[in-house]
Amino acid sequence: MKTQMILATTIATLAMTTSVFAHATFANQPAKVGSYVAATLQVPHGCDGKATNEVQIKLPEGFISAKPMPKAGWEVEVITGDYQNSYDNHGKAVKSGPVEIRFKNGDLPDNFYDTFTVYGKIAAGDPATGLAFPTVQLCGTDGKVAWDQIAAPGQDPHDLDGPAPVLQLVAAEGDAHGGHGAHGAHGGHAAPAEQATADGHGAHGAHGDHAGHGDHMAAADPGGFETVTAGELELTAGFTKAMLPGQPVGGGFITITNKGGEDDTLVSATSAQAGEVQLHEMAMEGDVMKMRQLTDGIAIPAGETVELKPGGMHLMFFKVAEAFKEGATVNVTLTFEKAGAVDVVLPVGPARSN
């Protein structure tokens, strides 16, 4: 009897777990209206056995200054546009910004689970309904799963075939109406997990910025980098920036001048303070900001200077066990095709430039 009871309990638990993870949900505790949050979307499966290669997330009205967290092995596109309303962000009127985030050209097998994180400010929202983020998974050339249905007022979102993931909200302190003013009634699913919110002093998003990635578009060089010479290459103005709590990725910047007569190429980078370092590029194409890994390296033409700088080409630190802290340093080894391995020490500047 005891064995049967344990088995029955296990089956019931598995059934509940399967139900929770059958749909795309957020791994967040309810977030305060007016706060910053790292909204973490859980993708539990692919498309009828096919691997997920793209995840498209539409951002609801009231979720502003969004910045996607980079994912190793995935490219990121940020589509910008106008908001329906103007929002105050630390005294500045914000009327436009990211309206959709696309994680592209990745590979998430059907039998694996993963998360996709977008950082932003909840400028407006109704705790009674939360904020819905219509999401679409694309698998290969013909596979698709749409989580884009938004429950009508009073409707049980469990009755929907493809309910949009909902970020649950709580009222801001001292606000009994809790930011009532999010546009559209959004019901739906949410999976409780570790809270991933930041206080009202989170990163100040600019038009087209990224968390961890585009967040350093506003990074400031703290100074203190010691010039390094390797053959005909001169490396100057190197730095990184302090990381925000819970941010597992960071950016690095440096200026490389090739004073010789032959081209060289920055092939790779490594650091004992990160599980992986990649070469990345950010570029605007119309209203779309694209972020991609530069797998072929970064060319350093003869007689020219190449800047790895905020908003352009840069180093990307992944799997950072201990967040970079202002005033500390990060040791990095840059490997060039001709100059070979070059060790540099990047000073860590403030998390924000203002």
Supply the pTM of this predicted model.
Answer: 0.63
Residues 200 and 163 in one domain: yes
Q: Report the CATH number at residue 59.
A: 2.60.40.2230
Left (φ > 0), alpha (ψ -120 to 50) or beta: where does 283 sit? beta
Q: Report the CATH number at residue 251.
A: 2.60.40.1890
What pLDDT is attached to residue 8? 40
Q: Which domain holds residue 227?
A: 217-349
**H or E element that contains 20:** helix 2-21
Query: Does residue 63 fall inside a structural domain?
Result: yes
Tell whether the model's pLDDT for residue 1 goes beyond 60. no
Tell whether the model's pLDDT for residue 306 goes beyond 90. yes
What pLDDT is attached to residue 127? 92
Residues 161 and 205 in one domain: yes
Residues 259 and 309 in one domain: yes
Tell whether the model's pLDDT for residue 232 goes beyond 70. yes
What pLDDT is attached to residue 284? 72
Provide, rounded to the nearest whole percent, the portion of the chain with pLDDT above 70: 79
Q: Give mean pLDDT, residues 183-206.
A: 37
What pLDDT is attached to residue 327? 94
What pLDDT is attached to residue 292? 84
Q: Give mean pLDDT, residues 233-237.
A: 97
Query: Does residue 354 fall inside a structural domain?
Result: no
Residues 187 and 254 in one domain: no
Query: Does residue 337 fall inside a structural domain?
Result: yes
Query: Does residue 245 fall inside a structural domain?
Result: yes
Residues 189 and 328 in one domain: no
pLDDT tens across 11-53, in order? 343 333 333 446 889 998 899 999 999 999 999 989 988 999 9
pLDDT tens across 323-338, in order? 899 999 999 999 999 9
Total structural domains in the chain?
2
What pLDDT is attached to residue 21? 47
Task: Give the phi and the psi of residue 158 in degrees, each rounded to 5.
Answer: -70, -15
> Whose CA is closest to 103, among 151, 154, 137, 145?
137
Residue ending a domain, among 165, 191, 211, is 211
Residue ending a domain, among 179, 194, 211, is 211
What pLDDT is attached to residue 160? 85
Residues 264 and 324 in one domain: yes
What pLDDT is attached to residue 342? 97
> And the tokens for 213?
């990635």
What is the residue-averaged pLDDT of the chain? 81
What pLDDT is attached to residue 352? 65
Q: Give mean pLDDT, residues 113-120.
A: 92
Query: Does residue 170 fall inside a structural domain?
Result: yes
What pLDDT is attached to residue 317? 92
Residues 41 and 20 in one domain: yes
Residues 146 and 207 in one domain: yes
Tell whether the model's pLDDT for residue 217 goes beyond 60. no
Residues 290 and 304 in one domain: yes
Residue ending a domain, among 181, 211, 241, is 211
Tell whether the model's pLDDT for residue 65 goes beyond 80. yes
What pLDDT is attached to residue 321? 83
**Pairwise pLDDT comparison (305 vs 70), residue with the higher score:** 305
Query: Does residue 47 fall inside a structural domain?
Result: yes
Residues 21 and 89 in one domain: yes
Are the C-beta atoms of 248 and 119 separated by less than 8 Å? no
Query: Does residue 7 fall inside a structural domain?
Result: yes
**H or E element that contains 1:** none
Q: Which of these ranges, 7-21, 54-68, 73-87, has the smallest mean pLDDT?
A: 7-21
What pLDDT is attached to residue 91? 85
> Whose CA is closest to 38, among 55, 26, 49?
26
Residues 196 and 225 in one domain: no
> And the tokens for 22?
């059958």
Q: Give mean pLDDT, residues 44-70.
A: 93
Tell whether the model's pLDDT for residue 183 goes beyond 50. no
* Cβ partners under 8 Å of residue 68, min gap 6: 76, 78, 101, 103, 116, 117, 118, 119, 210, 211, 213
What pLDDT is attached to residue 210? 38
What pLDDT is attached to residue 276? 92
Residues 154 and 30 in one domain: yes
Query: Does residue 51 fall inside a structural domain?
Result: yes
